Chain A
């Protein structure tokens, strides 16, 4: 199975400031079609996860453009250009290259 790891585990943020989360895989997620099969999800407190980014850098429907995904191969980053209060929660990366699709352990984002 592909192992996903995230850092940091906890990220205190200031509204209006940028923030970034790192995700690494122990195998390349770059497909021969040149897409990286890496998703980002946000689970707000008490809510179900929601898809933010798929294929590394494509924003899901309705996701604000302050969220962006980048990286390739085994190293990926989710960036929030200007954090808002509603962005608090746990962020998970997930690979969709191989079955079983596997999640990172999560990064908890809180307002300072």
Chain B
């Protein structure tokens, strides 16, 4: 069974940093892209970032230069380092698995999602 479990969310002051993690199981982790999608409270979905099986990365314009995505294949995990956080980054952050084995970096359908971890940026 495919499982994705996010962690690392919490309350943080504007300008500070936070590191989210996504622990994956139930599939051959090395072969698949992992993406982050966020959802502000009561609002819709926004794609944030993705990393391909071979470490290609992509970011939304709103987080480019502030967020960094990385993967640790030995630990079957993906991390999202979030720096210079703003109030508009407040959201539930989901990690999701890309559909399709060994796809190059780029937009992709997301076939399994975690339950999300809440990030609140407030003073």
Q: Interface residues, chain A, CB within 8 Å of chain B?
A: 1, 37, 39, 41, 43, 48-51, 54-55, 60-61, 90, 92, 94-106
Q: A41-B110, A51-B110, A99-B107 are in contact. List 9 more A-B contacts (CB 8 A).
A: A1-B61, A39-B109, A48-B114, A60-B109, A60-B111, A92-B45, A94-B47, A101-B47, A106-B45
> Closest approach, in angstroms, between the C-beta of B110 and any C-beta of chain A?
6
Chain A positions within 8 Å of B109 at CB level: 39, 51, 54-55, 60, 96
Number of interface residues of B (CB under 8 A): 23
Contact of B44 among A50, A51, A55, A103 (CB under 8 A): A103
Tell me the complex Cα distance, A51–B113, Å. Answer: 9
Report the nearest B residue to A106, measured CB to CB. B44
Q: Interface residues, chain B, CB within 8 Å of chain A?
A: 37, 44-47, 58-61, 94, 96, 99, 106-116
- Is B44's CB under 8 angstroms from A101's CB? no
Tell me the complex Cα distance, A61–B111, Å. Answer: 9
- Is A48's CB under 8 angstroms from B116's CB? yes
> Closest approach, in angstroms, between the C-beta of B24 and any C-beta of chain A?
14
Tell me the complex Cα distance, A69–B4, Å. Answer: 27
Given contacts A37-B107, A48-B116, A60-B111, contact A54 B99 (CB under 8 A): yes
Chain B positions within 8 Å of A105 at CB level: 44
Given contacts A97-B107, A99-B107, A100-B107, contact A49 B47 (CB under 8 A): no
Tell me the complex Cα distance, A3–B114, Å. Answer: 26
Tell me the complex Cα distance, A106–B60, Å. Answer: 19
- Is A98's CB under 8 angstroms from B107's CB? yes
